[in-house]
Amino acid sequence: MPVEDVPAAQRQIIRAAREMGKPVVVATQMLESMIKSPVPTRAEVSDVANAVHEGADAIMLSAESAVGDYPLEAVSVMSRVSIKEEGDRSLQRSAAQSFTPHATAEDAISAAARQVSETVGAKAIVTFTTSGATALRAARERPSVPIMVLTPNTQVARRLCIVWGLYAVKTKDVESFEEMYEKAKRMALRHKFVKGGDRIAVTAGVPFGTPGATNVLHLAWISGEELKGWD
């Protein structure tokens, strides 16, 4: 395509991927000059920031870190620019303007989890998933709090690591509502997302272990004592 059409095409692809709940990575030539230079150009810094602002799940270096002379500097620059851009209040407001949920129980629960967590000041959303579908729906909503993903599947946990806002942990599956409730609180506390007195929003599918069947949203208080008696 003509070069002048590339920026608009990139925005359209990112938006389409976000609307479908698919991870989208912006890659190649983001900090190309840093293959030979310890500092990037202003245009490259803007490219990185724009990819973050447009809603990409991940941004990626290639030659800069694979064969470049300044791999550590390139990673550092990309990290600093991303963190700065994500801290922009206007970006946070635009990210919160999520897409209209699809007319399914799963999408409705994911949208509600974001709204409820913001309304009650929950510190994290904890979601149980076997296939990863529940976690992708949660990330699509771009909540203002971290999303902890608990899954028994190692491949799913690894795959979800590049998705926006997700912190994936491999753990044994649960078999009951009470077990889900208690495990969500323990894992959020163990991984330092919360402390005593905080709240979390928990999403899962019942019956447990059924891929894609997100139909439960629950709020839980953290006492701070959940890890007592556990290794």
Domain map (residue ranges) of the chain:
3-87, 103-222
The predicted-structure confidence for 126-174, as pLDDT tens digits, reads as follows 999 888 988 998 898 889 899 999 999 999 999 999 999 999 999 988 8
The span from the CA of 150 to the CA of 146, in Å, is: 13
CA dist list (Å): 188 to 46, 129, 168, 227: 35, 15, 11, 10
The predicted-structure confidence for 50-88, as pLDDT tens digits, reads as follows 999 888 999 999 999 999 999 999 999 999 999 999 887
Identify the CATH homologous superfamily for domain 103-222.
Pyruvate kinase, C-terminal domain (3.40.1380.20)
Q: How is 132-199 classified by DSSP, letter by letter? A: SHHHHHHHHT--SS-EEEEES-HHHHHHGGGSTTEEEEE-PPP-SHHHHHHHHHHHHHHTTS--TT-E
